[in-house]
Structure 1
Amino acid sequence: MRTEQERQQKNGGFTLVEMIVAVAITAVFSAVVLTAVAAGSRLYRSISGSTRVQMDTQELTDSVEKLIVNAGESIYYAYGSGKSPGAPISDDIDGSTDGDRTLLLCSIQKNKGGAGIRVVDVLDWRESEQKLYYSRQEITAAGTSMLTEPSVYGEGIMEFHVDVSRADSDGIIRFQLITENLGKKLRTLHTVDLRNPVKIILPGSQQQEEGGQPQT
């Protein structure tokens, strides 16, 4: 027959040593699980950040391409801004230029009266802000007026370069974007085929006017 002491030991539950071992195993297992979860979370954020950069860049690229494709009379790439364009730039895809730059894309549209007017889509890249701005101008015999004031078109644009050297001869414009978002950098180069023949000339300039007024 079992003694009273043996019965008490059998029904007494875990010993102190067993509990300590169980707690230690649980702590080790929990640490492994938490480490795996943290690593997975970091990987997810990294992949999510990269995907967001690519999506934002693709959306901006598509918008810029549409503006370039629709240029219908002239284009002009230069230092400065659309409100105050400076010396022209032919090709700086190699990143050889510094400072603010502007790309003006001029088309001829008809107003409500049926008369032809020049409308200019303007892209201004501001180096200090690393932002690309969009605005629209209207050019008439009375002068140049703003249809829309500059608004942010893209942020985190570390570099914006354009090649217009073949715009009038081959109907091709190239542009390069170097973007940054959530610490991720992405460099892209794009070639755009123009729908219409264009001249490389400042919209509204005397040289353009000498080439002829918009057709009515």
Structure 2
Amino acid sequence: MKYYAILVAGGSGSRMQNSIAKQFLLLDGKPVLMHTLEAFYQCALNPEILLVLNIHQHTYWEELCSTYNFTIPHQVIKGGEQRFHSVKNGLKAIKGKGIVAVHDAVRPLVSAELISKSFQVAEELGNCVAGITPTDSIRRFLGSNKSESLNRNEVALIQTPQTFNLDVLRKAYEKPFRNEFTDDASVAEYSGFEINLIEGERQNIKITYPEDLEIASMFLSKRNISQ
């Protein structure tokens, strides 16, 4: 079986209060994106890595790879207007059959073990999506300043990787874009596929706000000490 990873790196630095796109910010001395590629490179199933990046950032990424002597093999693909279109561009670049994991490029702490598990479960069941149970109480907005409590044991906080048989994801992405398509699971579910959840990882955080970099650095330090 052939395995692929589509790393989606279309974000900007707006919520980071930084002019540099968050995937390029430094985490323990090198760009966040390099940590993410390393995680997939360390996966025992040896997936082929496709990085989907805004076309205006391709040259900058090449310069970063040169500066940091970063040589992990990967193919750079032109990003689209929305995440949906970026993933679709990544799918178009893959020929043949196999299993594909789609992952947020700004989740640099994903473990090689979770990546491998996602490939294996998707190969068996057709797809799988990583998620964790919330630890905080949850309420749902009802409008007009009203809300209601939800049972946190009945919901999940969805992460990536989100992993699919290529035939499944290609069929799902034949649909036109809709605003409610926030991830690959929502696209596949809209096309009639039942989503299989697997346990994610607490450390598999998404770098979105400035404090997330500090948290990620702390997790990395603990990981290095334990190795």
- State the TM bucket, normalised to the shorter chain: under 0.3
Structure having the higher Rg:
1
Q: Which has the larger helix fraction?
A: 2
Q: Which has the larger strand fraction?
A: 1
TM-score for both structures, normalised by structure 2:
0.25
TM-score for both structures, normalised by structure 1:
0.26
